[in-house]
Structure 1
Amino acid sequence: MSSQREEREELQADLIEEEELGSREEKQGVVVGVMGDVFPELRQYECKIQEIIAEEEASFGRTLVKGIEKFKKAVLDVQGSKITGQASLMADVTQFSVVLEAFILWDTYGFPMDLTQLMAEERGLTVDVEGFNIAMEEAREKARSARSKIAGHSIVMDADAISVLHKNGVGTTDDSYKYIWHQDHESVVKAIYTGTEFLDSALDQVDIGIVLESTSFYAEQGGQIYDTGSIEGSFGSFHVNNVQVYGGFVLHIGSFAEGAKTLMAGDKVTCKVDYDRRTLIAPNHTCTHMLNFALREVLGNHVDQKGSIVLPEKLRFDFSHGKPVHPEELRKIESIVNQQIKDEIEVYAGEAALAAAKRINGLRAVFGEIYPDPVRVVSIGHKVDDMLQDADNQEWLSISTEFCGGTHISNTRDAKAFALLSEEGIAKGIRRIIAVTTARAFEALDLASSLASEIDEACKSEGSLLEKKVASLKSKIDAAAIPAAKKADLRADVSQLEDRVRKAKRKTAEENIMNAVKTATEVANAASSRGKTFCIVQVDVGLDTSAVREAVLKVLELQGLAAMAFSTDAESNKAVVCAGVPDNGSKDGLVIEWLNEVMKPLKGKGGGGNNGIAQGQGNDSSRLEEAMDIASKFASLKLH
């Protein structure tokens, strides 16, 4: 019965695969034909969409295979047993009913719950749906907790709180002053919020939110981090460490400075933004726009922004692309941005009607984002008004133009330098770039140059010193915050050094074996000519156990003598020893006994004993002569 079911499953899978392969392109063509007018992107990217769908189908096929194998193994594991516990497969043999924790299949393998139920039913099993839902909720709670931990504690205004402000006649915050730099801004306190209620006054609260009539603080949005600073007035000072916007109300979150007096709703205050911090953020935001432009120039028009974060110390940009970006492409992307910085291009911003702005040739917008009307347009290289008047101009395709409400530098030269530090995949078809500007970019370039010099210096080394330097360089380069393209170059250089090390080690190993065998056979010939039944020899090959072993094997092969070979390393004060005895019926026990006696003065131990060969390592090579003397006396007494 089981065999028939498996054959049926395989036949169904084959038929489904054939049907899908035969009709995929036809179905996609129908979709493009029906929906292409409404969504012109379907026609524009038809081939790309087909590739992605094919990749997803193949990926899901692999998921099914893994899930089915996991399911079968789980069923076999509980046959004839009864196991309890939520994180396991539970079987009740008397009722021939198994409660399967389908959540593992779903969470780890992406295996559909309905397919798990179907497969279980065919085997007379049942799925614990209630347990699945419980596990699902636990996973969601863990995810929520993780997000809260990452975000940190913050006061949030929900819909009810926003409704209270509207009912009290509080107007939304005028935040247009955020685009004015290096000026204090006068405003009025309109509301004080604890996270659960509004207060008429506040004093000494650790975390509290203040809503102002107007503000010069930038609230976190559009990927750009919030401003920090202080709000000051007759009450004293309030440290602003977070700024968020909820339904048009800008909430300044923070705590009172020591010695502050009571703050009242209606108090006049002064906004003091930390412009030094914003001066670090703005270049990163403008370079995010230039990076977006450069990605499309190098990789193609399919590149779309999928998210971004602009911080004082770095920028992060997520974009659509189906494969890793080659180092040479990264180099071109980085070069385009740096060339724009070098060209000292003016950065313009202006508001425009949303419909008119959308007509600007080459304008970039985040897919699915809802923009206000009017909308703010940021252009690198041309005035927004000029672009609006000649929206179809092909020249606009050669510059970066985007919808953006963030704060920017006024000229690209203020970014000083751009370093693209890393590029990686974060999801299917989504890549992520991390980059830095200004002083951090110069630091990255300097570090790359320093590592290149270290590699040049390492090239002059040989032997074990070169090997140590290569190992050190590898770890340094992996951890270094340097341009990704330069990192690829340095890794390639280190790889060449590794090849050199490998070739040198092979050559040394060959020479060690040749020298060890030569020395051992000469001593063995002399011992044999004197009628001895054993050979004790020191070979000079450091801690090369292979060479020492080969010397012993060669003596056994050519002379048939029992042999023990020693070699030491002065730097580490260690010694390696290999012993071998001819086959006399009890060779393994005898060779181990011989080796153990010798290892005592060397403060080491040995092992092996297979086919009459044993070897060991000691930690005190200064007593080598004593060990060799013990080896000779033991052999004289027991090795005939």
Structure 2
Amino acid sequence: MTSKETRKRFLHFFVDKGHKIVPSAPMVIKDDPTLMFTNAGMNQFKEFFLGNSIAKNTRVVDTQKCLRVSGKHNDLEEVGKDTYHHTMFEMLGNWSFGDYFKPEAIKWSWELLTEVFKIDKDSLYVSVFEGSDDDGLSLDQEAFDLWKTIVPEDRIIMGNKKDNFWEMGDQGPCGPCSEIHVDIRSAEEKAKISGASLVNADHPQVVEIWNLVFMQYNRKADGSLESLPAKHVDTGMGFERLCMVLQGVQSNYDTDVFKPIIREIETITNHKYGKNEKTDIAIRVIADHIRAVSFSIADGQLPSNTGAGYVIRRILRRAIRYGFTFLDTKGPFMYRLVNVLTDSMGEAFPELKEQKQLIENVIKEEEHSFLNTLEQGLVLLDQVIANSQGKEVDGRKAFELYDTYGFPIDLTALILSEKGYSLDEAGFNEAMQEQKNRSKSASEVAKEDWVVLSNDVEQEFVGYDTLEADVRLVKYRKVTSKKQGEQFQLVFNLTPFYAEGGGQVGDKGYLEESNGDVVYIIDTKKENNEIVHFSKSLPKNLNERLKAVVDKKQRQRTEANHTATHLLHQALREILGTHVEQKGSAVHSKYLRFDFSHFSKLTSDELREVENFVNARIDGQLPFEERRNVPMKEAMESGAMALFGEKYGDTVRTVKFGQSIELCGGTHVKNTADIWHFKIRSEGAVAAGIRRIEAITSDAVKDFYTENHQVLTEIKDLLNNAQDPVKSVASLQEENSRLKKEVEQLLKDKAKNLKGELKDELQEVNGVQFLAKKVDLDAAGIKDLSFELGSNMENLFLLFGTEQNGKALLSCYISKNLVAEKELNAGAIVRELGKFIQGGGGGQPFFATAGGKNPAGIEEALSQAKTYIS
């Protein structure tokens, strides 16, 4: 059975059981501060489990794209080494929100596996939760009794809390689970040892295929459990493992999910899969990682140096270095796999097709960048080796290469081994652990349980229509972190405060109590579909009505910037072409940032045209037209633009200014005239095929022109109130350029005259032409002088010192024949001599420089130079 047929049969089996098919949520999470990525099928339904929202459909089924590379669920280092762990994978799931429970979930799972998919019943084992003394929980008797009517008791395995009790996190909904495991070993192997003893033992052929989670408890901050008001079913079946079983192969990578990608890797690298364990691991790593990276980019997450972007960059670089090290790929190659991936999975996930060009460009650019990093790292590693004492390289130096320059530690160890060196692994691990401890300490957050003051209240947002409202506190909790200190999170029955989302910053403001006291709201965010307000204190009377007031000035400035992003989007598509798509935005009260797809730098004329386009719409005084709760299909048919990577519901809100119409949940000005003016501050590249514009509006533009007028006045004063300051500055630049050329020529003449003098000062020491001298030249002059002398003479060892602007500089030149014959290294020498000038440096074995802050030490450094050849 093909993977496509397997996916369809799963979904339609549950449709026949009254379930609605829902689309996969984006893999990159934007409105949940507890997660970077969707790591389980239940993530998009957390609000229903938590009771924050009521599910419109109580039975749903889906296939969810997931990523497990950080936090509690981190499979990254296992990927490639075995045949069943993955970073990106599909999770097939059926869900019940307060509807059916254990009897239906267990019965239907067995029916699907054995009657629809025809899996041999004798190869299946099930597990039930055996109970936990820690929580005072006993055996899940209901699940056990249900399974006894389906399978023999010797195929029911008692599972501990680690394997058979599923928790959302340290706090929140949780419950016992029943896992279904499959034994795909041969008959001979099964006869030797029972499959029951291999369940949950990390055996590659006895694997978990489905997990049925019965959500019935809530884990509190103190670790205790309480029953949920409604019971839910949350199941997850690994799609790749299911395909392995149904296609009768022994590895996920032998299924038609991965085989097309592996064949393409074989073609590109000229390495055959299945011939060598090391290359097989590399091929598996690449086949897995191209999926994770491609889906992340399609969902709007570009590789970067922070947060989720850093994780994606790390995954991509892991694949590149496996190719570099084991498959001899010295140039970009990963981007060439995107085409076959799109052909294979584009039908189920159309975002791959629609974002294909962008995915290829971003990956190719990242490959170029990292391969350059590898080259630089190889040079730096050579320097580390040259400075090492003995044959073991300092682990902390290796960690610096890894942490600062991104040079992989396994590649460091491999190169060291080839050169006859070893790595101080203990030192590396110690430095790594110290960094993790620092990071963990800085990000630790302690959350107390919610104190609930009122139940059964569905929160309402009224901030589109008003900036003030009488509200009632529904629940609150205290949150403590090292970074933010002690804060309180507050949830009200209704609120005028806009929660951060869609790129727009959260509102600030205050709560006014009846006695006149004020509690300041310092931020507003959305968590699991609830609007959460952050403050440093609580109202004194928790049960009285409060007046919630949004900071009007900040909201107005933010609205001006948000509306400007819509007009900017329209301008870019009109002027550059309809290939332009929004790839991210940040809307603050002081500025806006807009990322978009485009493959070249915007010219000055294009930027001016974009500015003029937006300002024409501002001058046109276009009114704000809004439609709420519009069916998604109707909104799209009206021409509204949706953004990739965003999760939309069945109904949406459309925002229209003239011809600009977008799906948007943010706040906006009532008329474009309220923006006042639009000004682009910068335009540049973010990644391959992604550009970024930063701009300002309203009061910020007024401040900008005021500051620029002040600067112009000061420049005129410096130019003696010249009538044409531009012409005066151009004249000064021309004169400066002419004088620079004259100075350069004088220095060259000086170096030329000095060359003859220095030849006469050379001393022969042990067959080496030696000279150590302080000279009155700049760094460029010294380099030119050294190489001119070196071009005419052999066996040359030169050390020059100079003082420039109160700083010291040492330059060392060694003839290449001496570098080879006498194992001299200019880089190592200047690093040692740099101590005398209180500095350091480096370079190549034949020429290197060191800078320092102590010119008085130059003479001592020069006097020590002869020791290296004598």
1:143 and 1:420 map into 2 onto residues whose CA distance is 36
1:189 maps to what in 2?
Answer: 473
The answer to which structure has the higher helix fraction is 1
1:499 maps to what in 2?
Answer: 733
1:72 and 1:126 map into 2 onto residues whose CA distance is 14
Matched, 1:221 2:501: yes
Q: Does the 8 A contact of 2:362 with 2:688 survive in 1?
A: no
The structure-2 alpha-carbon separation of the partners of 1:344 and 1:137, relative to structure 1 and needing over 3 Å to count, comes to farther
Shift of 1:280: 1.9
Q: How does 1:12-411 map to 2 (within 5 A)?
A: 27-40=337-350, 43=353, 49-80=359-390, 89-90=393-394, 99=395, 101-129=397-425, 131-140=427-436, 161=449, 165=452, 169=455, 171-175=457-461, 177-181=462-466, 184-195=468-479, 207-242=487-522, 243-254=524-535, 262-264=540-542, 266-322=543-599, 324-353=601-630, 355-356=632-633, 359-360=636-637, 363-381=640-658, 399-411=659-671
Matched, 1:432 2:692: yes
Shift of 1:417: 0.5
The structure-2 alpha-carbon separation of the partners of 1:222 and 1:128, relative to structure 1 and needing over 3 Å to count, comes to farther
Q: Does the 8 A contact of 2:582 with 2:597 survive in 1?
A: yes
SS in 2 for 1:120: helix
Identity %: 32
Shift of 1:71: 1.9
SS in 2 for 1:276: helix
Partner deviation per Cα, 1:553-572 (whole Å, 9 max, x = no partner): 9xxxxxxxxxxxxxxxxxxx
Q: How many residues align?
A: 423
Letter in 2 for 1:278: R
Shift of 1:347: 1.9
Q: Does the 8 A contact of 1:36 with 1:43 survive in 2?
A: yes
1:40 and 1:180 map into 2 onto residues whose CA distance is 37
The structure-2 alpha-carbon separation of the partners of 1:147 and 1:333, relative to structure 1 and needing over 3 Å to count, comes to farther
1:195 and 1:14 map into 2 onto residues whose CA distance is 46
SS in 1 for 2:590: coil
2:696 and 2:432 map into 1 onto residues whose CA distance is 39
Shift of 1:274: 2.7
Q: Does the 8 A contact of 1:419 with 1:444 survive in 2?
A: no
2:568 and 2:589 map into 1 onto residues whose CA distance is 17
* Aligned CA-pair RMSD: 4.5
Q: Does the 8 A contact of 1:32 with 1:43 survive in 2?
A: yes
Task: Give the structure with higher Rg (CA).
Answer: 1
Q: Does the 8 A contact of 2:361 with 2:689 survive in 1?
A: no
1:373 and 1:221 map into 2 onto residues whose CA distance is 18
1:108 and 1:425 map into 2 onto residues whose CA distance is 23
The structure-2 alpha-carbon separation of the partners of 1:455 and 1:360, relative to structure 1 and needing over 3 Å to count, comes to farther
The structure-2 alpha-carbon separation of the partners of 1:292 and 1:131, relative to structure 1 and needing over 3 Å to count, comes to farther
SS in 2 for 1:241: strand
Matched, 1:444 2:704: yes
1:404 and 1:14 map into 2 onto residues whose CA distance is 46
Shift of 1:299: 3.9
Partner deviation per Cα, 1:450-505 (whole Å, 9 max, x = no partner): 6567778888889xxx9xx98xxxxxxxxxxxxxxxxxxx8xx7873443333675
Q: How does 1:477-488 map to 2 (within 5 A)?
A: none
Letter in 2 for 1:121: S
2:719 and 2:646 map into 1 onto residues whose CA distance is 53
The structure-2 alpha-carbon separation of the partners of 1:342 and 1:428, relative to structure 1 and needing over 3 Å to count, comes to same
SS in 2 for 1:194: strand
Greater CA deviation, 294-303 or 66-75? 294-303
Partner deviation per Cα, 1:100-152 (whole Å, 9 max, x = no partner): 7433222223223332232233334444555545544544555677789xxxx
Partner deviation per Cα, 1:488-536 (whole Å, 9 max, x = no partner): xx8xx787344333367589x89xxxxxxxxxxxxxxxxxxxxxxxxxx
Which ranges in structure 2 are unaligned for 5 or more consecutive residues?
1-322, 754-870
2:534 and 2:372 map into 1 onto residues whose CA distance is 48
Q: How does 1:486-565 map to 2 (within 5 A)?
A: 496-502=730-736, 505=739
Letter in 1 for 2:496: S
Q: Does the 8 A contact of 1:45 with 1:302 survive in 2?
A: no
Q: Does the 8 A contact of 1:455 with 1:494 survive in 2?
A: no
1:494 and 1:140 map into 2 onto residues whose CA distance is 56
Letter in 2 for 1:80: G
Q: Does the 8 A contact of 1:288 with 1:315 survive in 2?
A: yes
Q: Does the 8 A contact of 2:391 with 2:420 survive in 1?
A: no
Q: Does the 8 A contact of 2:335 with 2:361 survive in 1?
A: no
The structure-2 alpha-carbon separation of the partners of 1:142 and 1:407, relative to structure 1 and needing over 3 Å to count, comes to farther
Shift of 1:415: 0.5
Partner deviation per Cα, 1:405-453 (whole Å, 9 max, x = no partner): 2211111111010111123445565543322111321332455466567
SS in 2 for 1:195: strand
Shift of 1:180: 1.3
1:100 and 1:367 map into 2 onto residues whose CA distance is 42
The structure-2 alpha-carbon separation of the partners of 1:144 and 1:400, relative to structure 1 and needing over 3 Å to count, comes to farther
Letter in 2 for 1:499: Q
Which ranges in structure 1 are unaligned for 5 or more consecutive residues?
1-11, 83-88, 91-98, 149-155, 197-204, 382-398, 471-489, 511-544, 554-640
SS in 2 for 1:263: coil
1:385 maps to what in 2?
Answer: none
2:37 maps to what in 1?
Answer: none
